[in-house]
Amino acid sequence: METQNQQQIVKNVFNLLKITFVLIPIVAGADKFTNLLTNWEQYLNPTLAGFLPFSGAVFMMIAGVIEIIAGLIVLKKPEIGGLIVAAWLVCIALSLLVGFNYVDVAVRDIVMAIAAFSMAKLAKAV
């Protein structure tokens, strides 16, 4: 009986994480086109922006498409999508830390990356 209860808890935790990592990347990705939640360009490392062959707004739209696709992959294949989301979040955090800008956001992105990685690992157990 205890094992069944533990399995249900693991499944519930997995489902909560999966819903989170489907919805949040899709919503954040879509917002890269509207900037309703925030002005996403402010998070673009100025050094990186200088190397881009296009504007920061276009870069953020490309990032938005990647985030939407990542959220959809989590929906269909959470064990792969979770790793993609985790890697994406680590890359964002590193770009923020390199410029020592928005360190609080970088730390949150690392925590979310750990949660996405954990979800990917839980997917194998569920």
Identify the residue whose tokens are 């899709």.
Answer: 26
Which helix (H) or strand (E) element contains residue 43? none
12-39 pLDDT, tens digit each: 999 999 999 999 999 999 999 999 999 9
Domain count of the fold of the chain: 1
Domain that holds residue 75: 2-125
Pair of tokens at residue 49: 């922006």
Angle 29-34-39 (CA atoms, 0-180°, nearest 5)? 85
- Can you give the length of the chain in residues? 126
93-117 pLDDT, tens digit each: 999 999 888 999 999 999 999 999 9
